Amino acid sequence: MIFTPTPIAGAFLVDLEPKTDPRGSFARAFCRREFAGAGIPFQIVQANLAHTASAGVVRGLHWQQEPAGESKLVRCIAGAVFDAIVDMRRDSPTWRRVWWVELDAERGRALFVPPGVAHGYQALVDATGILYMTDAYYAPEHETGVRYDDPALAIPWPLPARDVTARDRAWPLLGGGPEG
């Protein structure tokens, strides 16, 4: 695996290193030893699949607050997504920085999202699938979010947003004041 730091402290792109032969290819999608060697402590306790039926659907921006903070390893396994992260850690050197990347099933690239960083994505094609693994169990009482369309974040979603849940539409705007 190839680990590339992003502009968000502690977040990494994780690229595959496929071995190919006439049959096709094989690549390691996760290895705790390789993550540790890259300085990323990550012990998976939960794996989640999300299927999005239509292009344009936006999910997020969510994160879990302490004491239930979680890291995520997000990989697109069908279709393609525009994936966005926002650093919501007040003590981080990249607090409130926004960054985005396209993930698609063909390349197999993943995004490692550290605790305290909001995550969301938009399906770029119909029938998109996401697999994400976490190092903490889902704790709904500690989940929070920020609006996907917050002008302070200026995330350039590539398609008109559609089918955004009432919960995701109800997250607060940053409004210039401290959040997170």
Tell me which of 62, 119, 121, 137 is the catalytic residue: 62
DSSP E strand boundaries for the chain: 2-5, 12-15, 19-21, 24-26, 46-52, 58-64, 72-78, 80-87, 98-104, 110-113, 117-123, 128-134, 143-145
Could you tell me the two tokens for 96?
């409130």
| Catalytic choice (51, 119, 121, 132) | 132
DSSP class of 162 = B
* Helical ranges in the chain per DSSP H: 32-37, 166-170
Is 62 noted as a catalytic residue in this protein?
Answer: yes
> Is 132 known to be catalytic?
yes
CA–CA separation, 12 vs 15, rounded Å? 9
Q: Measuring CA to CA, how many Å separate 174 from each of 12, 70, 83, 106, 179?
A: 25, 22, 20, 35, 6
Question: Scanning the structure block, which residue is given the tokens 């049959």?
Answer: 23
The residues assigned a catalytic role are: 62, 132
